[in-house]
Amino acid sequence: MLFFDPRLSGNDEVSCATCHDPALGYGDGRATFETFDGGDGARNSQTIINSGYYTSFFWDGRSASLEEQALGPIQDPHEMNMPLDELLEKLKGIEGYEELFLVAFDDGITEENIGKALAAFQRLIVVNDTAYDRFLKGDREALTEEEIRGLDLFAGKAFCITCHGGENLSDNMYYNIGLNSEDEGRYGVTKDDGDLGRFRTPSLYGITHTAPYMHNGSLETLEDVIRFYNRGGDDHPNKSIFMHMFMSEINLTEEEEKDLLAFLRVLGGEPPIFSKPELPGMK
């Protein structure tokens, strides 16, 4: 309910679902988010598919848990613009919310419980049963020949799995893959020069549902993403040595690009769709 409730915002118009829309892969389909006053935000609205599996949150990893993360956008003047002390009063004034909180938590409506409730809901938004997963579990028929060739490239010649590895296809590390962008990325958190323009490796589960791609939404399609990697990325003074040395030499043929695309499409899967529930005090 909290996720879908626009009353969590300062103007009663913006909910988490505004930027994390189930119909748009729990993103917003825009390159960068729309700010509270209608401008262009700094970064792409990340999908929350499989967000429960990361060890840090946001493109730059500045938040340590989903519980902590959830309170960020509510207070952010560019996002929902709602001070937390006012929000607590507001929710207490809406008939029905206090009772619902008391069912879940002994101490009713608190900041901490709002964070916990939002985090618990988000942990349900999971893609982990794609044809790739069935293939890994031993169902050799789950993938087509083309998709298997794509998997071979993903885990071999194209090096994708170096960073997009592990059960959530993210190593939870930070890299500068050579996007032409002014965003400081991880540097904004650590103030370490080596972190300039580095971002946390995103999972690839749900990927067909979440275009456009990258922290600035600068790549529109998965074809664009593959072409980007196949040329070793673009220019950035702090581009990863890995992109310089290895990705610039993968030289995938057109056929191989297609195979890799077919495999990435498998990872899209079917995210669970939750629709907006009836909200307290709004019958």
Residue located via tokens 């990893």? 61
Residue 160 phi, psi (nearest 5): -55, -40
Under the binding rule (CB under 6 A), the answer on residue 58 touching ligand HEC is yes
Q: Build a one-symbol-per-residue string for 162-201: x at contacts with ligand HEC by CB under 6 A, - elsewhere.
A: xxx----------x-x-x-------------------x-x
The count of residues in the chain is 283
Q: Rank residues 138 and 180 by Cβ distance to ligand HEC and give the closer one.
A: 180
Look up residue 248 and give its two tokens: 């610039």
Cβ contacts of 53 within 8 Å, gap of 6 or more = 167, 168, 170, 203
Query: Closest separation between CB of residue 272 and ligand HEC, Å?
Result: 16
Determine if 225 is a binding residue for ligand HEC (CB under 6 A): yes
Q: Which of 10, 25, 73, 271 binds ligand HEC (CB under 6 A)?
A: 73
Task: Tell me which amino acid residue 93 is.
Answer: G
CA distance readout (Å), 61 to 173, 198, 200: 9, 10, 6
Q: How far is the CB of 210 from ligand HEC (least distance, A)?
A: 6
The dihedral formed by the CA atoms of 64, 68, 70 and 73, expressed in degrees to the nearest 10: -90
Shorter beta-carbon distance to ligand HEC: residue 92 or 231: 231
- Classify the C-alpha dihedral 202-62-179-218 as positive or negative: positive
Contact positions vs ligand HEC (CB under 6 A)? 14, 16, 18-20, 33, 41, 43, 45-46, 48, 51, 54, 57-60, 66, 69-70, 73-74, 79-80, 118, 122, 158-160, 162-164, 175, 177, 179, 199, 201-202, 204, 207, 210, 213-215, 225-226, 229, 240, 242, 247, 264
